[in-house]
Amino acid sequence: MGRNGRSLMSIVYFTLTAVVLYLLSDWILERVEVTVGRRFQYRSFVFFSILLTLAMTSFVLISHLTGNTQGG
């Protein structure tokens, strides 16, 4: 598989990971709110923080594993 094939697969990995992380972040936020016993006032900010943390970690890992560490 050439460079274009690897790039296409990286896009697929990143997209699928983003969808999974979105759903996982929502689930984590729901679990935390159930544990605390109330909805958070700044729920969107908490959700974004969870999603950002998971995304940055996952995307760095995917880039490392696919060998696609170059930008652009």
Smallest Cα–Cα separation from 65: which of 2, 14, 30? 14
Q: What is the pTM of this model?
A: 0.75
Question: What separation in angstroms does the CA of 19 have from each of 9, 15, 51, 55, 72?
Answer: 16, 6, 11, 10, 22
Alpha carbons 51 and 28: distance in angstroms, whole number: 10
Sorting pLDDT into bands at 50, 70 and 90, what band is 68? low
pLDDT, one tens digit per residue, over 20-60 is 999 999 999 999 999 999 999 999 999 999 999 999 998 88
